[in-house]
Amino acid sequence: MTTKQKLVLIGNGMAGVRAIEHLLKLAPERYEITIFGSEPHPNYNRIMLSSVLAGGASLQEIIINDWNWYSENDITLYTGHTITRIDTDRKVVTSQQGVSVPYDTLLIATGSNPFMLPLPGADKEGVIAFRDIKDCETMIEAARSYKKAVVIGGGLLGLEAARGLLHLGMKVQVVHINDYLMERQLDETAARMLQRELEAQGMEFMLKKSTTAIKGKKRATGLVFSDGSEADGDLVVMAVGIKPNVDLARASGIEINRGIVIDDFMRTSAPDVYAVGECAEHRGIAYGLVAPLYEQGAVLAKHLAGVNTEGYGGSVTSTKLKVSGVDVFSGGIFNDGPGNRSLKIQDELGGTYKKLVIKDGKLIGAVLFGDTSDGAELFSMIKKEESIEGREKSLLLGVSPDQLAGGSGSGSARLLAMADDEIICGCNGVSKGTIADAILNKGCNTVGAIKTCTKASASCGGCKPLVEGLLQIYSGDSIGEPVKEGICGCTTLSRDEIVASISEMRLMSVNEVMNVLEWNNSEGCSKCRPALNYYLGMLFPEEYVDEKESRVTNERFHANIQKDGTFTVVPRIYGGITSPTELKKIAEVAEKYEVPLVKFTGGQRLDLMGIKKEDLPKIWSDLDMPSGHAYGKTLRTVKTCVGNTFCRFGTQDSMGMGVKLEKAFERMNAPAKVKLAVSGCPRNCAEASIKDVGVIAIDGGWEIHVGGNGGIKVRATEVLTVVKTEDEVLEWSSAYLQLYREQAAWNERTAHWMERVGLDYVKQALEKAEDRQALVGRLQKTLSLTSDPWKEIVQSDDLRKNFEPLAKPQPVNS
């Protein structure tokens, strides 16, 4: 048996792990792999951080390789470990926590660090970068307490940070030293169009401003500029660029310039030590875009696997991305210069712009704004340095010469003309050749299958039209049903097909459903198991026994797990109304278990944070209060204002109504989390108009609003009906929520469900009193069978064993 070589990867980011993915395909048995990552997460898509910040994606949704992937590939993973020493003589790396691992081959992929301007006051509280999950969490937390933010940097990163902060409800000013935005990716015309679009979204700009200091005492309160003007802000985000993270390499005696110096095979100056990604410098260039880094990783993997490769010759860069909802593309040399000539077309009404830069009959650069569908084809021409003489106008107008002459051209011809190494999916670095191989040789005949096999279109989805085009070209008659994507990759069945089958065949367990309905993966996955568990409980509330193992971690432990492995406990406080006795009880528990932080939540409750897993049953027992279900797909909160009990503007008892609603719906499982609010007058202090169900008091009655959302895509509620009594509020709210429970897809918020089915459909379904009563009856029957889960855990020795602490934290496969 051949002894495996020991390969150590420093850095658990996109570039290094992509190289490992390639290597596992080429030489799966050649290396024993150990990976060290400074962050406490598995490999995630850093490009999608702006979506996390804006609330459009969770950390779980941007994970590229989950914990299971490391185990399945026999990779030892140390998260939260920063390597502090490389001994290139003894070939050993050592982490800050004292773990030492020998290597035969070492790969450094430490990425880059955000560049922080050395300004007076830069060390103040409230001054951060925008680079990782921790930065996102800091911004989200700041937005709960502060309302003004200033972003230094009008490049891509700064604009994405600003967009996310706008979604969090903050007023945002963007400060930029140049006279127009994104000067590295856009020409002035496109930049001005982008600025107008972002201003319409609520962003403010201060251009040609040089920051000289950050004002404030302990916490930042704004910026001071060289011209004497100022900007106020409680949060200062620096997004002015990145610099290769070379400190470890420098300390280890490895040659560095701006980055770690590498050759065409990613070799550094130290024997058997390689570098890849943003930390590396190749032929004087340190790349900061994902496509070149993936190209480096592919070459390195071939080299390490012993596969013949010509080496890495550098990359012509392009940028195709969505800046705050606007599509932009740039590639090559896009600014006018000596010897260049440019063709431009601009549609102010349609919000599109296209510029081609030509030199010596060749396309050397392009800028697209609003419509980027031609980006891949144009970039391929830039890289090939091919002549476009005679085709300039057809390229500008996006049509073929035949179409200009009145003939018919084919969009497929453009895709066929692309080089195989052309990147189709920028988020995951998937080339045209990889997608073609998946279609031709791996049986991927649907977009869903391609997504599962290659990860193309699995992130932002912007490349889906190109993926569909390639599918049409290469699949031919064998193309699968284009809309036949199931609830996950384990099945082709839709939500409605699954629910109908469960009901008709009276399937009574998750495993039975997967077996009878012929799941591709007999064990299911983290997407389908919780969905099936919910559908079974919704259809058969009296007969089905909830499968705890099919619930997500937070629901299994009845608390929100935090990044450090501790949990938060949120007892229910009905309608945000509490008492001295209740407050004393919470305070005593917090002191007894040395809870590090007690915080008021946005839903008018108290959050006990930093609790050890083994203390959870004892804390709930001592609290003797219902769970606030802050962790579940269920009723979270009912927010209230003080109403006519105290407020001179109040017209109804909003607090009393809120308590009734919360007691009526607590423990109600749903396809997604549900939030309610009751405002005592149209001034709407409880923000009822952006809740799943909002109740607003008016003179002599109540308006019932539905389908609101305050997340990444803010959606105002629609008025379902107007009623006179509190009993009618409960009846209509119950009927609406049960209709949603029975018809929505798993993970589908009421706002998305309402957009799909429409208000008219909901009104028609609830129009008749007998139909409403039937829905109310089914909901009440379901709720009568539930109890607070903590009573079961506190009273059951078997369930309490789930909360016993692990003996010692272990690497993934130890």
Model confidence pLDDT, tens digit, residues 253-280: 999 999 999 999 999 999 999 999 999 9
Q: What is the pLDDT of residue 123?
A: 93
The token pair at 378 is 């144009």
Residue predicted with more confidence, 390 or 162:
162
466 or 31: whose pLDDT is higher? 31
Q: Give the best-scoring range by mean pLDDT among 103-112, 307-316, 374-383, 748-757.
A: 103-112
In CATH terms, 632-787 corresponds, of 3.40.30.10, 3.40.50.1220, 3.90.600.10, 3.30.413.10, to 3.30.413.10
425 is in an annotated binding site: no
Q: Is 460 annotated as a binding residue?
A: no
606-610, 702-706, 788-792: which has the minimum mean pLDDT?
788-792
Greater model confidence, 713 or 737: 737
pLDDT score at 461: 63
Rounded to an integer, what distance in angstroms lies between the CA atom of residue 707 and that of residue 716? 7
**In this prediction, what percent of the chain has a pLDDT beyond 90?**
48
- The CATH T-level fold of domain 5-112+244-305 is FAD/NAD(P)-binding domain (3.50.50)
| DSSP 8-class letter at 117 | P
Bridge partners of 79? Answer: 37
Mean pLDDT calculated for residue range 293-312: 93
Q: What is the pLDDT of residue 789?
A: 66
Q: What confidence category does residue 564 fall into, taking pLDDT thresholds of 50, 70 and 90?
A: low
Residues sharing a CB contact under 8 Å with residue 658, sequence separation 6 or more, in sequence order: 574, 575, 576, 577, 638, 639, 640, 676, 677, 678, 686
pLDDT at 212 over 80: yes
Q: Where are the beta strands (DSSP E) in 539-630?
A: 560-561, 567-569, 597-600, 606-611
Given a contact cutoff of 8 angstroms between Cβ atoms, the answer to whether 357 and 363 are in contact is: yes
Rounded mean pLDDT of the chain? 86
pLDDT category, 441, cuts 50, 70, 90? confident
Least confident piece of the model among 251-265, 629-643, 766-780 = 629-643
Looking at 371-474, which runs of residues are DSSP E strands?
423-425, 430-431
8 A C-beta contact, residue 235 and residue 218: no
Region 98-108: mean pLDDT is 97
Residue, of 597 and 762, whose pLDDT is higher: 762
Q: What is the DSSP string of 12-69?
A: -SHHHHHHHHHHHHH-TTTEEEEEEESSSS-EE-GGGHHHHHTTS--TGGGEEE-HHH
Per CATH, 5-112+244-305 and 127-240 having the same topology is answered yes
* Domain 127-240 listed as CATH 3.50.50.60: yes
Q: Give the start-to-end residue ranges of the domains of the chain.
A: 5-112+244-305, 127-240, 318-409, 423-478, 495-551, 632-787
Task: Evaluate if residue 57 carries a pLDDT over 80.
Answer: no
pLDDT at 805: 52
- Rounded alpha-carbon distances, angstroms, from residue 759 to 540, 698, 751: 28, 21, 11
Which pLDDT band holds residue 587 (cuts at 50, 70, 90)? very high
Whether pLDDT at 403 is above 70: no
CATH number for the region 318-409 comes to 3.30.390.30
Q: What band does 2 get if pLDDT is binned at 50, 70 and 90?
A: low
pLDDT value of residue 478: 63
Q: Which pLDDT value is given to residue 550?
A: 77
Task: Locate all alpha helices (DSSP H) within 608-652, ordered by sequence.
Answer: 616-623
Q: What's the distance, CA 211 to chain centroid?
A: 31
Question: How does residue 462 score in pLDDT terms, banded at 50, 70 and 90?
Answer: low
Residue 512 to residues 362, 503, 519, 530, 756: CA-CA distances in angstroms? 62, 13, 10, 14, 30
**Could you read off the pLDDT of 124-172 as tens digits, one per residue?**
999 999 988 889 889 988 988 899 999 999 998 899 899 889 888 899 9
The answer to whether residue 410 scores a pLDDT higher than 90 is no
Residue 753 has a pLDDT of 92
Q: Which CATH architecture has domain 423-478?
A: Orthogonal Bundle (1.10)
pLDDT computed for residue 407 by the predictor:
41
Left if phi > 0, otherwise alpha if psi is -120 to 50, otherwise beta: which for 729? alpha
Give the tens place of pLDDT for each residue, 16-25.
999 999 999 9
Is 685 assigned to a binding site? yes
Task: Give the separation between CA 582 and CA 566, rounded to whole angstroms.
Answer: 24
Q: Percentage of residues in the chain with pLDDT exceeding 70?
A: 90
What pLDDT band is residue 480 in, cutting at 50, 70 and 90?
A: low
What's the rounded Cα separation, in Å, for the pair 630 and 453?
35
What is the pLDDT confidence band of residue 404, given thresholds at 50, 70 and 90? very low
**Structure token pair of residue 715:** 């959606």
463 is in an annotated binding site: no
Q: How far is CA 559 from the centre of its chain?
A: 21
pLDDT at 411: 52
pLDDT at residue 14 tops 60: yes
- Lowest mean per-residue pLDDT among 288-292, 413-417, 744-748, 752-756: 413-417
Taking Cα atoms as reference points, which of 666, 679, 731, 742 lies closest to residue 708?
Answer: 679
